[in-house]
Amino acid sequence: MQGDSIVIEPHHRQAASEIAQALKSAIQQRQDRVAITIAGESGSGKSETAAALKEALEAIGIVAVILQQDDYFIYPPRSNDAARRRDIGWVGPGEVKLDLMDEHLRAFLDGADRLDKPLVIYERDTIGAETMDCSAARVMIAEGTYTTLLKSADWRVFIARDWEQTRAHREKRRRDDSELDPFIDQVLSIEHSIISQHRSLADFVIESDYSVTGQEAD
From the list 99, 98, 27, the residue with the least C-alpha distance to 56 is 27
pLDDT of residue 218: 44
- DSSP bridge pairs for 156: 37
| Positions of E strands within the chain | 34-40, 64-68, 114-121, 126-133, 139-143, 155-159, 204-206, 212-214
132 in a structural domain: yes
Q: Is residue 89 part of a domain?
A: yes
pLDDT band at 217; cut points 50, 70, 90: very low
Q: Which residues span the domain enclosing 68? A: 10-206
Q: Which residues contact 87 (CB under 8 A, 6 or more apart)?
A: none
| Model confidence at 212: pLDDT above 70 | yes
User: Is residue 99 situated within a structural domain?
Assistant: yes
Query: Does 152 reside within a domain?
Result: yes
φ/ψ of 112, rounded to 5, equals -60, 135
- 68 lies in a domain? yes
Does residue 119 lie within any of the structural domains?
yes
- The reply to whether 3 falls in a domain is no
pLDDT in the model for residue 6: 76
Q: Quick check: is 39 in a domain?
A: yes
- Sheet of 155-159: strand order equals 64-68, 139-143, 34-40, 155-159, 204-206, 212-214
The larger pLDDT score, comparing residue 3 to residue 49, is at 49
Q: What is the pLDDT of residue 161?
A: 84
The reported pLDDT for the residue numbered 4 is 60
What is the spatial distance between Cα 53 and Cα 95, in angstroms, rounded to a whole number?
Answer: 26
User: Residue 17: what pLDDT?
Assistant: 97
Q: Which CATH number fits the domain that encloses residue 58?
A: 3.40.50.300
The mean pLDDT value of the chain amounts to 90
Distance CA 39, CA 121 (A): 22
Q: What is the pLDDT of residues 106-118, one digit of tens each?
A: 999 999 999 999 9
Work out the percent of the chain whose per-residue pLDDT is above 70: 88
**Number of folded domains in the chain?**
1
Tens-digit pLDDT profile for residues 133-178? 999 999 999 999 999 999 999 999 999 987 676 666 556 555 555 5
Which pLDDT tens digit goes with each residue over 49-71?
999 999 999 999 999 999 999 99
DSSP state string for 112-123: -SEEEEEEEEGG
- pLDDT computed for residue 7 by the predictor: 82
